[in-house]
Chain A
Amino acid sequence: DAMVIQNPRYQVTQFGKPVTLSCSQTLNHNVMYWYQQKSSQAPKLLFHYYDKDFNNEADTPDNFQSRRPNTSFCFLDIRSPGLGDAAMYLCATSRGGVEDEQFFGPGTRLTVL
């Protein structure tokens, strides 16, 4: 089945230690998104790629970076995780049209010690 895959499902890191989360898709969608979701809140968009074009949200901290080396893969890099960065990180994909829904991966739960 076509899908959005996130690895790992659970990630533990230490305060200040860089961490990378990965996402891959078999849907061949143009757009890939990264969201941060904290407990009992809606997902918050960090950034997205339309093909190779990177679109950063104005309030996304500089501590968060992303890479999309090809259509299928996208990475979220947190350069110096703080305690406040502990959250669920969701990857999603879309064809990018007005009527097109987003397809979400299962998420990576990040714990910062």
Chain B
Amino acid sequence: GDSVTQMEGPVTLSEEAFLTINCTYTATGYPSLFWYVQYPGEGLQLLLKATKADDKGSNKGFEATYRKETTSFHLEKGSVQVSDSAVYFCALSGSSSGSARQLTFGSGTQLTVLP
């Protein structure tokens, strides 16, 4: 079945540091890939997505590129802010063996940015 493996956290960075959160996936076919962010006590918000190989999703300074050859979708940001502190989830949907309508989540990575 489908699976998503995320870099284990928690991750603690200083403000303006470079961020990478690794995400790799196992799925058949051509899934869509997503990064969601969850702030404390809130629901998940879509951060960015990519729907085909070599697509780059970007939003609020965050970027991730759909790499089919390495089955990866790593999240990056050049300069993090305290307000980026949250839990980040990598997810996929639409594999050949899964449902188009269901998300498979990674375990989540807690990011804390210190001033």
Contact = CB atoms under 8 A, between A and B. Distances in A.
A102 B32 contact: no
B97 to A, nearest CB: 13
A104 B32 contact: no
A101 B108 contact: no
A26 to B, nearest CB: 15
B111 interface: no
Contacts, number: 55
A102 B86 CA distance: 19
A25 to B, nearest CB: 13
Contacts of B42: 106-107
B34 A101 contact: yes
B101 A41 contact: no
A70 interface: no
Contacts of A109: 41
Contact of A104 (B45, B100, B101): B45
Nearest to B32: A99
Interface of B: 31-32, 34, 36, 41-46, 49, 51, 89, 93-94, 100-103, 105-108, 110
15 contacts: A4-B43, A42-B89, A42-B106, A43-B44, A43-B105, A45-B103, A48-B102, A92-B43, A92-B44, A97-B100, A98-B51, A98-B93, A101-B34, A102-B44, A102-B46
